[in-house]
Amino acid sequence: MSNSNPEQHAQRRGYHGIDIGGSKMELVAFADRDGALEEVFRERVATPGDDFPAFVQAIVDLVAHGDAALGSAAPVGIGLPGVIDSASGRQLSSNVPALNGRLVAQTLQQTLQRPVAIGNDCQCFALSEAQGGAADHVASMFGAILGTGAGGGYCVDGQLLRGFNGVAGEWGHWSLPAALLVQHGLTDYACPCGKQGCLERYVSGPAMSKLHAHFGGDGAEPLAIMARANMGDAVAQRTVAVHLDILGHALAGLVLAYDPHAIVLGGGLSKLPHLYDKLPAAVRRHLFPGVHVPPILPPRFGDAGGARGAALLIRQHTKA
């Protein structure tokens, strides 16, 4: 899908943000209006997940359309699942197999002849919420994604801090303590990353369904589990309570590690109202006295923030 305003051929300074998923990729072209990003063009196409040359060509075509809308060649920010090996610069992505082992940023820079910055989708979410989003003008924030997995990003004064390996915020691959496994009678689940007991195997959307099945349910979707819990279903109530306790432990770890002034939730589970009511107390139970829980906020942009965050990432990169 695409759209543009009637002035699309007038030259303006801008940035392209591209949000890439396993099935679709979307470019949004933004004009920079005195520091504020104004959307002027949007287009979404299928992701060529198994064909790298086709993937590169799809990016080239999207960028060409975005350039036409802006009237100039704009730098490109890209948000996608996975990480970049800091030693080799090669991409690791389970959602888009064609990118594995590829020098994606370098290839696109050479092909597009302009600056390109790549960050993972969770970091782009955090950056979008830190600049104009739920945590706008907050001294520091952590964006915690609770979707098909669990990841995040950390921003200070509106700037994304990526770290030595570029993986700052990957809290989903911290390990769940043995004490909580024993307390709740849980299994030490294997994670696709190659480790055992990663937090995302217990706090993500699919993990909540897996917990429901573990406790004797049918593995329903999170919204259905919540509806059953509200109606008094014992298995659903136990699932919600255990999920909340583990998530509270995980976010307490974030408080101790990063001490953010706000936590913004993202992903599908961020739409569950009980998290904003009950999660602060669940976090507090895992903190020692004198440490306070920062505000836990719903996202302003949600799923729509991926491309915006990618555009903000390239703006940060080019101004650094």
Question: pLDDT tens for residues 222-265?
Answer: 999 999 999 999 999 999 999 999 999 999 999 999 999 999 99
Q: For residues 251 and 134, what is the distance between their CA atoms, to the nearest angstrom?
A: 18
* First vs last C-alpha separation in the chain: 33
Q: pLDDT at position 125, please? A: 93
Name the H helices within the chain: 52-70, 104-112, 121-130, 178-184, 200-203, 205-214, 222-230, 234-258, 274-284, 305-319
Dihedral sign from CA coordinates of 149, 242, 264, 89: negative
- Tokens 């990432």 belong to 313
CA contacts within 13 A on the Cβ side of 312: 27
Q: For residues 301 and 32, what is the distance between their CA atoms, to the nearest angstrom?
A: 18
Tell me the pLDDT of the chain averaged across its residues: 91
Q: pLDDT at position 3, please? A: 53
Q: pLDDT at position 57, please? A: 97
Give the three-state DSSP class for 121.
Answer: helix
**Spatial CA neighbour of 129 closest among 97, 164, 154, 100:** 154
- Rounded to 5 degrees, φ, ψ at 6 are -65, -20
**pLDDT beneath 70: ranges in the chain:** 1-12, 94, 303-304, 320
Rounded alpha-carbon distances, angstroms, from residue 158 to 121, 168, 282: 17, 15, 27
Q: pLDDT at position 303, please? A: 67
Q: For residues 19 and 266, what is the distance between their CA atoms, to the nearest angstrom?
A: 15
Q: pLDDT at position 317, please? A: 87
Q: Burial level of 259, CB count in 10 A (0-12/13-18/19+)?
A: exposed
